[in-house]
Amino acid sequence: MCEHCGCQDRKKEIELERHILSHNEEIAARNREHFRKKGIKVLNLISAPGSGKTSLLEATIDALKDKIPLAVIEGDPETERDAERIRKKGVPVVQVTTGGACHLDALQVHRAFHQLEGNHFKLLFIENVGNLLCPSAFDLGEDLRVVLVSVPEGSDKPAKYPAAFFKAQVFLITKIDLLPYFDFDLEETRELALKINPQIKILPISSKTGEGLEEWLKLIEGLVSA
């Protein structure tokens, strides 16, 4: 190891990270093929804590559960609180408690999925651990990656966390019912996100009032029917 900069240790860290990600990608590919064979569409929801992922799931379940059989995998460092909220909606759910880890990985999703296999469903939501950084690096085998940013968080999040937006297909701007109370620039957020990913679909939405929910539901129904 170089006594001045620790470059040898850094090299080992990079090699370990490459190994972890490579192994995860192999499992994610198997997950994706397994989901495809079973005819299940999978959405991976990524956001910072408090962006409204669980509230969005509750509103989505209320709208779709009589049309599309669905299930949920919940990821959190501790507790089953979010899973309990989803369970009350009457859909199958498995909680993955990471014990402090900042993301879900493909193996955890693989194991959780097998706990759900006794249930009939065609749509699977994965609510990732609240974090805009770590989850963006880990493919879970999903069909659609959805990144959420809520109005109280500020409109500069795409610039601060570009990887989360570069790898996503959908960007939900949540809690838009709070726009009158926060200095959030919708146009700035759109421009920043599209600069990073020109193909990303942007939907402003409020789970509380239902504004924008119809377009979100159409997107999901189109995915499942495809």
Q: Read off the pLDDT of residues 54-79 as tens digits, 9 standing for 90 and up.
A: 999 999 999 999 999 999 999 999 98
Which residues form the domain of 212?
Answer: 7-225
> Is 89 a domain residue?
yes
Average pLDDT, the chain: 93
Distance CA 68, CA 80 (A): 24
b/e string for 87-98 if b means 16 or more Cβ within 10 A?
A: eebebbbbbbbe
> Is 2 a domain residue?
no
Q: For strand 93-97 and strand 41-47, is the pairing parallel, antiparallel, or unpaired?
A: unpaired
Distance CA 39, CA 209 (A): 32
> Is 180 a domain residue?
yes
Distance CA 120, CA 71 (A): 9
Q: Is the pLDDT of residue 4 over 70?
A: no
Verdict on whether the full-model pTM lies above 0.75: yes
Mean pLDDT confidence for 30-51: 97
CATH number for the domain that contains residue 58: 3.40.50.300
Count how many domains the chain has. Answer: 1
Q: Is the pLDDT of residue 168 over 60?
A: yes
> Is 134 a domain residue?
yes
Q: Is the pLDDT of residue 1 over 80?
A: no
Mean pLDDT confidence for 98-127: 95
pLDDT of 100? 80
> Is 135 a domain residue?
yes
pLDDT of 2? 54
> Is 1 a domain residue?
no
Alpha helical stretches, state H, 65-105: 81-87
> Is 143 a domain residue?
yes
Looking up tokens 């009158």 gives 180
Contact present, 101 and 17 (Cβ < 8 Å): no
Contacts of 192 (CB under 8 A, 6+ apart): 155, 156, 158, 159
> Is 91 a domain residue?
yes
